[in-house]
Amino acid sequence: MLWNTYIKGFKNFLQAERGLSHHSIQAYSKDVEKLATFAEQKYGDIPVSKIQLDHLRQFIIELSQIGLDSRSQSRIISGLRAFFKFLLIEDLISQNPTDDLELPKIGNKIPDVLSVTEVKKLLESIDMSLPHATRNRSILELLYACGLRVSELVNLQIDFLYLDLGMIKVRGKNDKERLIPISPRAAKFLLLYLDERNKDKVNEGFKHIVFLNRRGKQLTRHMIYHIIKDATIQAGLKQNISPHTLRHCFATHLIEGGADLRTVQELLGHASILTTEIYTHVNNEYLRQTIEKFHPLNRRNED
């Protein structure tokens, strides 16, 4: 069975030709591995070249039966499409079985968003007398002030900080770099953390990384989730808050404050403005207040 050989070639293709991040490459390859396991269990030692549309449809049905939601199914299908496109490019198959494979219908999921008051409560929940409090406060401030992805935060580099200009540079999806303004408040906490960081022992291989753990090594994504979970508890908030929640808040609060969609798209690093449009949702109370304030027939007649 050549599945493993093809998957290895697929990984090399994604890195060399598509320039995807390690995280994305691993996710794509795991999707194909799921199909390989299903095909072996269902159809025996079936070669990749014999996979047809019906096989793929049965695979999606099984994903649905084990409780995988439509969004997760769509992501897996995207990975399979990339895999079979690679096989077609390499002349390893003559026809792409994913051409007529339909994506499950999914609605735009409205992200959970905190109010400005709740965000402030979360940020101020950090007990500044505790070890690593300055680092943790800086992390929360930066996520909200700049709308960073968690991967962008943990990979932030010292050389990408232009605090004298009020800017930071991040490397986003597909290694695309973008400049983001940093607020004076977030810059203040970042400078406080950097001052502490410079006094601590830093592992030789991580001197270029901004946020470090107590061993002087790069923080993991899991650790960022843990920091936020602990802050959520301390703040007495009931929502399930993640790093992405603060990114949602950054975008939504900007748009509610009057920022245009194109600017927010640029700040978030979205390739398509369609992705950014999900942040245009606002609650009904905000809509009502906007109409009452700005609609000409709702203004009090002072004549």
Hey, which residues are catalytic here? 149, 173, 244, 247, 270, 279
Q: Any idea which residue has 């790093």 for tokens?
A: 243
Give the residue from 148, 214, 228 showing the smallest Cα distance to 183. 148
Contact between residue 242 and residue 228 where contact means Cβ atoms under 8 Å apart: yes
Contact between residue 170 and residue 14 where contact means Cβ atoms under 8 Å apart: no
Return d(Cα 114, Cα 116) in angstroms, integer.
Answer: 6
Joined together, the tokens standing for residue 228 give: 């936020």
**Torsional sign, CA 168, 173, 175, 176:** negative
Can you state the percent helix, strand and coil of the chain, rounding each to 5? Answer: 60, 5, 35
Report helix angle 221-235 to 116-123, nearest 10.
Answer: 110
